[in-house]
Structure 1
């Protein structure tokens, strides 16, 4: 009975833990929530964070290398002589401290500190990448949702037109082919709505995968979310300058040059002598010696303290090879940084061009959408009054649908490119 109760308590504990972890996942998402969640929960980012922790442990070990060590030893030996067996025991403590090694240890600490900084910058770069991906996926959801709203309005109008034409057909005021055209248009609008809804679900799935959420997790985008298109905050030259000063990939490249310089200093340090201080305490006991156990331990107790100078003479060109390779690594790091800066400035310029084009397209699409919306409204009113034919109305509707799709797409494209461009300059994406 007791074991059964234990199982019940364990089950309640585990399930309550699952409920608590499930509560950590938001039910309703806005863009900031999605970005913050991804930065905290993303597997790749957390893997890089663990790499940072590993680098920090290496730094701790490097700092500890300048401290003296301490080793204890105990020996027990049994030796067979012609005169009989001899039992000996030995006890000791030994320690050594590196006094000078060509600044190798000091440079090794610098190297490990730079590795920690580089690892942290890798985390920041990964956060930047996931931020862009989340933003694009999130705006695609808003785009699809807004498109559904327009398509639903279009479907309501089509349904009303079909009902009106059915009544007109009964009274013989319109031909059968006109009714069929409106019914076909209504069916096509329903198909368009289903397609738009499927697109929304696919976009939601994409975002959930980026957030690494289970497929069956409830997911809802905040209904108040809208996009605001605004001009870029900085001109191209200013944006490129800010990107070069703030982006983690550039800082990481600069640190890498410093790191390779320190590695060169470490390689050169092995050419220099090493001076170390060592000491030991030892005592022992033998059953063949006269005297009691305590007497022998006290009588054989000795202390040792000394300096050791190690001078490298010939190491088969190992050090010279390491120095040459370190110099090569410095040049590689400089070229890598130059490539990073070139790529970054090109990306900023591309983003700038995208913003300019997207804003121009959005302005044109908005104007076109305004005109076609009004034209369709007039056409629908004329069709209802019988002063417009169905063919002309359908033509106007097709123009409206084309303008609608162009407008919605241009709106969210302009918003996305603006966010990306400003993000390069250090402006966070929050909404």
Structure 2
């Protein structure tokens, strides 16, 4: 019997493991192996843990709002008690008795007036829900920029890999040519060794570029909250626009200050603080409540019956209660003073948010201008160095080039290629970030 039980448990465990493994495999298979930027952004909005927690904060705020609305309604409580008492009837303790007593009832209380506190609390909780939604949007914007940066870093790595692969192929061909000339006795062994060293350097740089791509993919997967995925790559667009015209700074700043969620949220915080002051002032006003109840009680009744008790000893009561604050040991005064302080703090926060956003958009505008200038310069520099490198290769092929001059020109070409790739994607990223403050969705 024991063996049978253990065997059953093992079968259940293995079955659960297979189901769990199947669900994980199904999830992995449902994910695309190659992601474009739009897919990354949509997936992150649905699966990022930070965003999920912020949405839960919104749901919690909605529950607070429902609770505030329910405070306008009367409550209803039921109660009941039953007890037994044992005591001696005679002084000598020869006779004992047990008495029973109890009560049952239903009571209700309804706050009719509380100085406007309840309705103000509902409005405040409604604003808190809106504020929580703006917090979600702020986090979505932050994650959007982070994902875009990580995505473009991978594209930079991919282009670096391509041109490093070309350099490796060129070095292999140049080394083969040097070996043939060495065999023919036209160059020294030192020249062959120099080409071998250059090939080793190019292969090292290619490996470094490939490792950088792997690392940047991990960074993007972390932002997407992706776990184990058999394949993961990003789409390389045919073209990346880096020299597009951008709107002027005043237009972007005006739109951002009127529409960005961090400003909207800060403005709501001021309104929430104002309502908190109204709630604090309501503490000076009286509270009127209505109470009512029905019930029954009994004591030492040998004929007691639960269902007949309401016929024997049934009572009803209702009444109004007026509570007027006269001296509250400075509680109301302190609450009002702290509420005013909170208003000043929220206004300072709003002003700081506006200043920060204005400076951020201005910095983004300057970054765009610098990036576009660097992109133009890098494009020209690459064109010149590419032509010089082509000429140097031709001179090397026909044997008229100085090896040191060739390597100097080759290094200049490599630097120009790297600068061009970096400048191109920096310009593309800066333009998209700047336009993002104007409400333009980021896309490649």
Q: What TM bracket, shorter-length normalisation?
A: over 0.9
Aligned to 1:180: 193
Q: Tell me whether 1:54 sits opposite 2:74 in the alignment.
A: no
Aligned to 2:250: 237
Deviation for aligned residue 1:19 = 2.1
Aligned to 1:148: 161
Q: Indicate conservation of the 8 Å contact 1:348/1:424, yes or no.
A: yes
Select 2:76's aligned residue among 70, 74, 87: 70
User: Which stretch of structure 1 is more off in the superposition, 419-428 or 324-333?
Assistant: 419-428
Deviation for aligned residue 1:125 = 1.0
Q: Indicate conservation of the 8 Å contact 2:28/2:229, yes or no.
A: no
Q: Indicate conservation of the 8 Å contact 1:90/1:282, yes or no.
A: yes
Equivalence map 1:21-420=2 (5 Å): 21-78=27-84, 86-214=99-227, 218-224=231-237, 226-288=239-301, 297-420=310-433
**Cα–Cα, structure 1 residues 217 and 267, in superposed 2: closer, same or farther, change >3 Å?**
farther
Summarize deviations over 1:143-180 as a string: whole Å, max 9, x none.
Answer: 01101111111221121111112111211222333333
Summarize deviations over 1:56-106 as a string: whole Å, max 9, x none.
Answer: 111111111111100111122345789765433322111111111111011
Select 1:14's aligned residue among 14, 20, 29: 20
Please tell me the root mean square deviation across aligned C-alpha atoms, in Å.
2.3
Summarize deviations over 1:190-220 as a string: whole Å, max 9, x none.
Answer: 2221222222222222222323333665321
**Cα–Cα, structure 1 residues 323 and 339, in superposed 2: closer, same or farther, change >3 Å?**
same
**Cα–Cα, structure 1 residues 307 and 173, in superposed 2: closer, same or farther, change >3 Å?**
same
What SS does structure 1 have at the residue aligned with 2:284?
coil
Task: Give the number of aligned pairs.
Answer: 431
TM-score, structure 1 length as denominator? Answer: 0.93
CA distance in 2, matches of 1:308, 1:225: 76
CA distance in 2, matches of 1:60, 1:413: 48
**Cα–Cα, structure 1 residues 13 and 215, in superposed 2: closer, same or farther, change >3 Å?**
closer
**Cα–Cα, structure 1 residues 205 and 110, in superposed 2: closer, same or farther, change >3 Å?**
same
Deviation for aligned residue 1:332 = 0.6
Aligned to 2:93: none
**Cα–Cα, structure 1 residues 91 and 215, in superposed 2: closer, same or farther, change >3 Å?**
closer
User: Which stretch of structure 1 is more off in the superposition, 252-261 or 115-124?
Assistant: 115-124
User: Which stretch of structure 1 is more off in the superposition, 212-221 or 258-267?
Assistant: 212-221
What SS does structure 2 have at the residue aligned with 1:94?
strand
What SS does structure 2 have at the residue aligned with 1:228?
coil
Deviation for aligned residue 1:11 = 3.7
What SS does structure 2 have at the residue aligned with 1:45?
helix
User: Which stretch of structure 1 is more off in the superposition, 8-17 or 234-243?
Assistant: 8-17
Q: Which runs of 5+ in 1 are unaligned?
A: none
CA distance in 1, matches of 2:408, 2:18: 64
Deviation for aligned residue 1:389 = 3.0
Summarize deviations over 1:366-393 as a string: whole Å, max 9, x none.
Answer: 1111121122112212321223332332
Runs of 4+ off more than 6 Å: 80-84, 289-295
What SS does structure 2 have at the residue aligned with 1:270?
helix
